[in-house]
Amino acid sequence: MIEITSKDYDQVESKMTKAIENLQENLNAIRAGRANPHVLDRITVEYYGAPSPLNAVANIQVPEARMITLAPWDPSMLREIERAIQASDLGITPTNDGKLIRLVFPVLTEERRKDLTKQVKVYGEETKVVVRNTRRDFIDKMRAANKKKELTDDSLKEYEEKVQKITDKFTKEVDAVCDKKNAELMEI
Sketch the domain layout of the chain as residue ranges.
7-28+109-186, 37-104
Query: SS3 helix, strand, coil % of the chain, rounded to 5?
Result: 60, 15, 25
pLDDT at res. 162? 92
Percent share of the chain, pLDDT over 70 = 95
The mean per-residue pLDDT over the stretch 116-127 comes to: 93
pTM comes to 0.73
**CATH no. for 37-104:** 3.30.1360.40
pLDDT at res. 28? 80
pLDDT at res. 137? 93
Task: Give yes or no for residue 8 having a pLDDT over 90.
Answer: no
Distance CA 92, CA 36 (A): 13
Report which of residues 57 and 187 the model is more confident about.
Answer: 57
Task: Give yes or no for residue 188 having a pLDDT over 70.
Answer: no
The answer to whether domain 7-28+109-186 has CATH 1.10.132.20 is yes
